[in-house]
Chains A and B, each alone.
Chain A
Amino acid sequence: MTDAESAVAEAFRQEWGKVVATLIRMTGDWDLAEECAQDAFAAALSRWGTDGVPDRPGAWLTTTARNRALDRLRRTKTEAAKLQEVAVLSVPDEPAGWGESGVEDDRLRLMFTCCHPALTLEARVALTLRTLAGLTTAEIAKAFLVPEATMAKRLTRAKHKIRDAGIPYRVPPAHLLPERTVGVLAVLYLLFNEGYAATAGDDLLRPGLSAEAMRLGRLLTALMPDEPEAAGLLALMLLQDARSAARLDDDGELVSLEEQDRSRWDAAKIAEGIRLLEAALRRQRAGPYQLQAAIAACHAEAAQASDTDWAQIAQLYGELRRLVPSAVIELNRAVAVAMADGPAAGLTLVDELAAGGALTGYYLLPATRADLLRRMERSDEAAASYRQALDLVATGPERRYLSRRLAEVGG
């Protein structure tokens, strides 16, 4: 790669979202904005090699894309295009005032618009990846295991919905901001988990989704410095991602947290995650992401599995359950209680959950029950529960883990 090519590649990573976001504000036309951003990066490839890399690559790209938009609108010559052209000419490069919520950045506008609740969750995820992260339609389709034509249709439909339904291009006003922020965070965390759940055998694009989610998480944290949940989510993603190298063994088998080689955890990511989390918690507005990050931090800070502060984790799950009532969280609390107070205490909670019926059909319920019974040396009952769990789980690593445990209890 030449210097100019690597400069364009770097600019693409840094500036794509910004160029598209600015062009959408200027033209109000999502397709035109994307096409002109593409043209600008193509122009950079040919021009930066001969003219040198500009001092402010982002400004160069935005200006080039804007001029390209004006060219295209002038050539179209319809009434609508003429109006658009006038609009583009009258829009300043940076909006003058500050919005109601005190935050005005085109990328933040774009993020909130992409994650608007009037769009389907699938559309929100796809739009975020296309317009903010700059993934191609083919890449997004591959990452979500759908044909490219399907993904292209999904993106087109979403852009038409934004235009036709009048979804505003802005950061929501103060009274809407908290609930809409929750929506943006949910899309980023979903992206992260899509990537995180993928294993080394899967296409490399899926793990790439986690990296994109963290990059967007960094951006959101920088753009919303007063929102502790944004920092909490970034901390949570970093702390989880720090363990990714130790999650699978050399044969691609899932390694439980207890058995992971902690020397393979990424110390730099853990340190950054904990630093972010502590700063967020000082704002005294703990939310679900900060609590989950705090739980992840309890694990990350234990040099060995036996050092884990399970009482603290159980308490954090208790707080989390108060904010987000959920049977899955309660199951996790039961595991922590079992580790802090012994398997019998955990089993009582698991059996209460099973009686409640909310987790019927969820393999981790019998799997957790089986692990507790195994630790209480009630092998026959443990084996029965492992078999129940195996009946409910489809995919590879989890299945093999349960089969291994079942063999251990002699089932």
Chain B
Amino acid sequence: MKYLLLYAGDETAAGLAVTEETAAQPEEECGGPWAQELRERQIHQLTGGRLMPTSAATTVRTAGHETLVADGPFAETKEQILGFDVIECADLDAAIYAASRHPVAVLGGTVEVRPFLQGA
């Protein structure tokens, strides 16, 4: 099955905040050590990675033929989306394992695990 792992947490919290150091960490890059470890369990990372903070986010909506562009994320929340991965694995237990091993989860963030619509 194909799952989205959506990482959330306080983007200003120590450990979760993007710093020059975290930006340089290969851990969370596509194909990094996390993904390599998972491959031994037949869990495959298809794509994904960490995101720049919400200060770099732009929100787009449309109204008729008009495109409305605004600064910031789609909702002001206590936790922000920190990144995502798309993985292919056998079942939910494998996806839970992948989520629990991700650096964001280890550092105090939350991971939402969602299956894709069948056939997607």
Contact = CB atoms under 8 A, between A and B. Distances in A.
Contacts of B95: 166
A168 B93 contact: yes
Contacts of A116: 92
A366 interface: no
Contacts of B3: 166
A70 B3 CA distance: 32
Interface bin, chain A: under 10
B71 interface: no
Majority SS of interface residues in chain A?
A: loop
B1 interface: yes
A174 to B, nearest CB: 13
Interface string B85-96: 000001111011
B92 A165 contact: yes
Interface string B1-28: 1010000000000000000000000000
Contacts of A165: 92, 113, 115
Contact of A168 (B91, B113, B115): B91
A190 interface: no
A166 B95 CA distance: 9
B2 to A, nearest CB: 9
A116 B90 CA distance: 16
B91 A167 contact: yes
A167 B90 CA distance: 10
Nearest to A162: B92
Nearest to B114: A165
A376 interface: no
B115 A172 contact: no
A164 interface: yes
A94 B95 CA distance: 28
Contacts of B115: 164-166
A108 to B, nearest CB: 16
Given A164-B115, A165-B115, A166-B1, A176 B93 contact: yes
Contacts of A164: 115
8 contacts: A116-B92, A118-B96, A164-B115, A165-B92, A165-B113, A166-B3, A167-B93, A168-B90
Given A166-B115, A168-B93, A172-B93, 17 more contacts: A116-B92, A118-B92, A118-B96, A165-B92, A165-B113, A165-B115, A166-B1, A166-B90, A166-B91, A166-B92, A166-B95, A167-B92, A167-B93, A168-B90, A168-B91, A168-B92, A176-B93
